[in-house]
Amino acid sequence: MKYSSILVLSLSLLSGVASAGGTTEAGIGGALGGVLGSVVGQSIGGSTGSAIGAGLGGAAGSAVGADKRSRGEAAIGGALGAAGGNVVGRSMGGNTGSLIGAAAGGGAGGALGNYMGNKSDDEDRRYRNRDYDDRRHYDRGRHYGHRKHNRHWRHR
């Protein structure tokens, strides 16, 4: 039963590549990756392995579903959310709670990371465009070629 669920989760995570590109997809990818990583980590290394696997899976799933410009932020958010959700869920509800916590934390962290990355890009673009001044490229009608720079022409 455990291996069939791993297979289904991994196939659903890989199918997210076709629809990659948004906050919702980053959240879904982080949730699926966190659960898959938690299951694989639990079978390899116990509760510590489960937390590490949830973090790695949440990072990978969030990065797969995120926008191209904000994959790093989504990966960090998905990793922290899935690992933290796994630990909190294990303390509240055992193995089942750790899976639910990894899914909730990975989804929320991946979506939030993608959203914050997109907002940061928008603010950077807005700030760069604000500093541009068209007026410095004009020579006020005196077209003297190479002689127009550093000259103080007098009006008579």
Q: Which of 98, 93, 108, 94 is nearest to 26 (CA)?
A: 108
**Residue 21 above 80 pLDDT?**
no
Are 114 and 75 spatial neighbours (Cβ–Cβ below 8 Å)?
no
The alpha helices in the chain, defined as continuous H runs, are 2-14, 23-65, 71-130
Per-residue pLDDT band for 101 (boundaries 50, 70, 90) equals: very high
**Residue 8 above 90 pLDDT?**
no
Q: Which of 148, 151, 150 is nearest to 138 (CA)?
A: 148
Encoded tokens for 91: 């303390």
Burial per residue of 23-32, b for 16 or more beta-carbon CB atoms within 10 angstroms, e otherwise: bebbbbbbbb
- The predicted model scores a pTM of 0.67
Average pLDDT, the chain: 78
pLDDT in tens, 59-71: 999 999 888 888 8
Query: How confident is the model at residue 143, as a pLDDT?
Result: 62
Domain boundaries, the chain: 21-123
Residues above pLDDT 70, as percent of the chain: 65
**Residue 138 above 90 pLDDT?**
no
Encoded tokens for 54: 């949830």
In order, the DSSP letters of 96-140 are HHHHHHHHHHHHHHHHHHHHHHHHHHHHHHHHHHHT--GGGG--T
